[in-house]
Amino acid sequence: MCRSYFTKSYTPYSLIWALVFLYTALIAAFVQLIALPYIVPEWHAGHGLLSGGDWIWFHELAVKMSENILMNGWGEWMLRPQGQAPAGIAAAIYTLTVPEPWTVIPLNAALHAAAAVVLIVIIQRFTSRWQYALIASLPFILYPSAMTWYTQLHKDGFFILGSLVFLLGWITIVERINNFHNPREIIKAYLLIMTGATLVWVVRPYGVQMMQGVALLIVVGISVYALVFKKYLQSFGAKSLLIPVLLCFIIVSLTPLTQQGVDIREVPETKIMHWKAMLPSRLDSAFYTLAVLRNGFIDAYPDAGSNIDTDIRFHSALDVIAYVPRALEIALLAPFPNMWLGSGSAVNSSFIRKVSGFEMLGIYFGLLLTILSFKKWRENPAWWIIISFCVGMMVIYALVGVNIGSLYRTRYGFIMTIVALGFSYLFSKTGKKKEEYATISEGNGAAYSSKG
């Protein structure tokens, strides 16, 4: 007997993925083959690429590598030519097909569709029906700013999908703490975490370092919660002491993926003069690294049109800590309303700023709903994992970066997850006040009861 698509127990993930894939692929093909060449040719850099982006450089690197592969064999291929994975991936596809960016559209569409499905899986923990989770996730799927990576050549498709899979893994771990007698579920969660980290490692190895740092803070929180609030465990004793050990093992498992260095294009080299060491050496070194990266961006791109706070440099760990509230403001609320109607350095910047202003109205509303959702879901560990991971990653990016355009792109997966969480609260008001949600899909975990 066929299961209805409108039941709580069944979610048509394959259908959702296929529809998002088709939508994304058609939009990307329209942009590359019709819109840029014929409707707005002044924005066109050739080959279906938008003027003024790194994707032009990635395409040139990919074409050159593809030519070398055809002449000398696959020994010429590398994943990150000049540190850029999109070029290496595109080069492989160019070699097997033709050296045109439209050949990468299916991959970009698949990544965006997979990320949408993972986000829906996450948000289903807070809704009574999968339809509500889908609606809450529509801004992530449909916002025009996402076109800057799925219609072009960039890193964000891999990065966003990897981040969401990583987040889902940690949520799953937290939900399984009181069910440690079933190692299969713990292994599934561990594999999700490692798969997500690997996807991020492909394009941004330094991103895994950031995720490892934020995850360490999450581990501390989970361990304290599990040890202090004994009611969360079925039995308190030796088993609870294994929780921090297991979580630390997961953190350590990420270390091999953090050893690849940083992106030479995105993190220019610089030095900090007169650094004041004020903390234990290892901790102070982490703050010093943030300061180096921030100063590098300031020095390398001083004339970027959407730069912010370029006059602020860090000379001690206390400087970094003091800037966190401002970084939080930028991470969540920028671009600010006074930036929406301005003009930038690129030919299409004015239009992009207007689009971002429209998007920010939706983001502000979603953030407000997320704040309101605290009362309803404050006892749901998944709510805390989402907020701490997403906000933590965004704040690190805001501490390091000074360009709003770059931040807008790199934070997309994180802030849109928080927005989807907020919209799920809005839709939860249409359901029962107290609802039972049997996790994600049949046979994939224990039931979760949310408070209304």
Q: What does 100-160 look like in DSSP terms, one character per residue? A: SGGGGHHHHHHHHHHHHHHHHHHHGGG-SSHHHHHHHHHHHHH-GGGHHHHSS--SHHHHH
Residue 94 has a pLDDT of 98
Tell me which amino acid residue 345 is: S
Terminal-residue alpha carbon distance, the chain:
34
Better-predicted residue by pLDDT, 339 or 1: 339
* Residue 437 token pair: 């949600």
Spatial CA neighbour of 346 closest among 42, 83, 25:
42
Residue 272 has a pLDDT of 59
Mean pLDDT comparison of 91-95, 238-242, 373-377, highest-scoring range: 91-95
What is the per-residue burial (b if ≥16 Cβ within 10 Å, else e) of 350-385?
Answer: eebbebbbebbebbeebbebbeebeebbeebbbbbb
Spatial CA neighbour of 302 closest among 338, 345, 271:
345
Calpha distance 58→99 (Å, rounded): 12
* Residue 29 token pair: 């093909």
Predicted TM-score of the model (pTM): 0.89
Is the model's pLDDT at 364 over the cut of 90? yes
Calpha distance 437→447 (Å, rounded): 6
Residue 178 has a pLDDT of 62
pLDDT range class, residue 240, cuts 50, 70, 90: low
Residue in the block written with tokens 């030796």: 238
- Report CA 132 to chain centroid distance, whole Å: 22
CA-CA distances (angstroms) from residue 133 to 6, 372, 419, 424, 427? 13, 17, 12, 6, 9
For 420-435, the pLDDT digits (tens) are 999 999 887 654 444 4
Q: Which SS3 state, helix, strand or coil, does residue 416 take?
A: helix
What share of the chain has pLDDT > 90, as a percent? 62
Better-predicted residue by pLDDT, 438 or 257: 257
In the chain, what are the domain boundaries?
156-203+205-262
Task: Enumerate helices (H) and strands (E) in the chain, giving the number of each.
Answer: 16, 2
Residue 440 has a pLDDT of 38
Residues 329-349, mean pLDDT to the nearest whole number:
81
